[in-house]
């Protein structure tokens, strides 16, 4: 197993969108009274432009892949840990003590260290705390408080930060192209998804890529268990308003959307369908929007004076019934957006 965490020097998209979840570009003028509830189940949810991000050596980092890193090994209390697998978000392995194998995993890995070697530079990940996310109703999402030590420069920093404060990470199988946003299926890879980024948000919203959920076909009435891996990927496109599926976001942190899906029962149910201030933005698949409505977050970019290039795919995606999640379109999730959010956010709630 090799570990993939997206790392690069702090950057800003050409359109002016800050790529790190703690920037809150779109929410600086909102009062506490109009912010949605932190619990995202069946309620409007916050989104942002970044896919993932963490910190190292005092810099905000995003996008660099740890491909090519050599693992010097997991250790815990001086003992080497072997045979690691990632089951959902829980690492499991074996610790050899006095010549006898002892299974270990979950919170038992608190205090463990993972050494990485890259271009003759040594980094050590310190797993300071591992705990179940009490806000996730499925009860299978582990959060990891991790610090990174740069041995050569004698510097220590949190792996993830939100608003300048340390934040937990969620380990996910596979890795993601930080330019296109595409998921790259590689069972030997692990990505640490930082809270505040789209990868982690979509887990928090219930689209756990390792899990399954029931879907009932409305035409034939048949029900089946399906993987949520593509729902998670479609959710990352939705969070970032990546309409064309080319990795270009069209949103700012702090913007509010209402996400929903067609699972049975829905993982996220639409909460604003009876509110005339809200209109359908789009239906989403793993490759981007499958159709668009009339209430796009592009309006908010215009209100903020953020320049952008209109997505070239939009004219081909207009559909009067967008939001119905018609099976023929193959969309997995959808969202609505309040057109008054930028000028009169209180009216949206």
- Given the DSSP bridges, would you call strands 2-4 and 189-194 parallel, antiparallel or unpaired? parallel
pLDDT bucket at 159, cuts 50 / 70 / 90:
confident
Predicted pLDDT of residue 100: 84
Q: 3-class SS at 232? A: helix
pTM, two decimal places: 0.82
Predicted pLDDT of residue 116: 76
The one-character DSSP state at 5 is: -
Q: Which helix (H) or strand (E) holds 304?
A: helix 298-304
Per the prediction, the chain carries an average pLDDT of 79
Q: Which of 50-59, 189-198, 255-264 has the highest mean pLDDT?
A: 255-264
- pLDDT average, residue stretch 92-100: 81
CA atoms of 20 and 17, how far apart (whole Å): 9
Predicted pLDDT of residue 143: 96
Q: 3-class SS at 292? A: strand
Q: pLDDT: is 121 or 334 the higher one?
A: 334
pLDDT digits (tens, 9 = 90+) for 117-141: 766 778 888 999 999 999 988 899 9
| Radius of gyration over every alpha carbon of the chain, rounded to an integer in angstroms | 21
Residue 70 confidence (pLDDT) above 60: no
pLDDT bucket at 111, cuts 50 / 70 / 90:
very high
Cα dihedral 284, 288, 293, 295 in deg (nearest 10): 100
The residues with which 73 forms a beta bridge, in sequence order, are 115
CB neighbours of residue 305 within 10 Å: 7
Residue 167 confidence (pLDDT) above 50: yes
Question: How far is CA 315 from its chain centroid?
Answer: 28
The one-character DSSP state at 231 is: H
CA atoms of 297 and 338, how far apart (whole Å): 9
Residue 41 confidence (pLDDT) above 70: no
Residue 95 confidence (pLDDT) above 50: yes
- pLDDT average, residue stretch 13-20: 21
φ and ψ at residue 338, rounded to 5 degrees: -90, 115
Predicted pLDDT of residue 84: 75
Query: What are the tokens at 216?
Result: 């009932």
Query: What are the tokens at 226?
Result: 């399906």
The one-character DSSP state at 17 is: -
- pLDDT average, residue stretch 308-313: 94
Predicted pLDDT of residue 246: 94
Task: Please answer whether residues 236 and 230 qualify as being in contact, where contact means their C-beta atoms are separated by less than 8 angstroms.
Answer: no
Predicted pLDDT of residue 178: 79
Q: Which residues contact 157 (CB under 8 A, 6 or more apart)?
A: 55, 56, 57, 58, 147, 148, 150
- pLDDT average, residue stretch 183-210: 89
Distances (CA, A) of 54 to 20, 49, 121, 194, 204: 8, 14, 18, 6, 18
Closest CA to 269 of 45, 47, 46, 43: 43
Q: What is the DSSP string of 315-327?
A: GGTB-TTTTS--G
Residue 24 confidence (pLDDT) above 90: no
Residue 114 confidence (pLDDT) above 80: yes
CA atoms of 261 and 332, how far apart (whole Å): 6
Residue 197 confidence (pLDDT) above 80: yes
Weakest mean pLDDT among 67-76, 91-100, 319-328 = 67-76
Residue 217 confidence (pLDDT) above 90: no
Closest CA to 218 of 336, 329, 335: 329
Residue 313 confidence (pLDDT) above 90: yes
Task: Please answer whether residues 323 and 284 qualify as being in contact, where contact means their C-beta atoms are separated by less than 8 angstroms.
Answer: no
Predicted pLDDT of residue 5: 35
What angle is formed at CA 211 by the lines to CA 169 and CA 66, rounded to 5 degrees?
A: 40
């Amino acid at each position: 197993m090799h570990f993939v965490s997206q790392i690069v020097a702090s950057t800003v998209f050409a359109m002016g969108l800050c790529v790190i979840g703690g920037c809150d570009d779109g929410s600086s003028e909102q009062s506490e009274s109009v912010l949605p509830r932190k619990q995202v189940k069946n309620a409007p949810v916050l989104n942002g432009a970044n896919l993932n991000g963490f910190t190292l050596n005092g810099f905000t980092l995003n996008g660099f892949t740890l491909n090519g890193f050599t693992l010097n090994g997991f250790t815990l209390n001086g003992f080497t840990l072997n045979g690691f697998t990632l089951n959902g978000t829980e690492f499991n392995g074996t610790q050899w003590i006095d010549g006898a194998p002892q299974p270990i995993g979950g919170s038992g890995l608190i205090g463990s260290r993972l050494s990485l070697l890259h271009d003759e530079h040594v980094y050590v990940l310190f797993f300071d705390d591992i705990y179940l996310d009490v806000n996730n109703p499925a009860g299978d999402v582990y959060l990891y408080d991790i610090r990174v030590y740069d041995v050569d420069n004698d510097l220590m920093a949190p792996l993830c930060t939100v608003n300048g404060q340390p934040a937990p990470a969620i380990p996910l199988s596979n890795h993601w192209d930080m330019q296109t946003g595409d998921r790259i299926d590689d069972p030997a890879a692990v990505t640490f998804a930082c809270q505040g980024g789209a990868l982690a948000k979509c887990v928090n919203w219930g689209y756990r890529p390792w899990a399954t959920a029931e879907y009932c076909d409305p035409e034939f009435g048949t029900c089946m268990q399906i993987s949520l891996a593509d729902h998670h990927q479609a959710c990352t496109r939705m969070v970032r308003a990546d309409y064309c599926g080319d990795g270009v976001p069209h949103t700012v942190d702090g913007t509010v959307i209402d996400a929903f899906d067609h699972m049975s029962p829905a993982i996220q149910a639409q909460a604003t369908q009876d509110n005339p201030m809200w209109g359908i933005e789009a239906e989403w698949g793993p490759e981007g929007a499958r159709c668009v409505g009339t209430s796009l977050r592009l309006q908010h970019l215009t209100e903020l004076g953020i320049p952008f290039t209109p997505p070239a795919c939009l004219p081909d995606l207009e559909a009067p019934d967008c939001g119905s999640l018609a099976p023929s379109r193959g969309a997995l999730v959808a969202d609505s957006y309040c057109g008054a959010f930028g000028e009169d956010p209180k009216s949206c709630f």
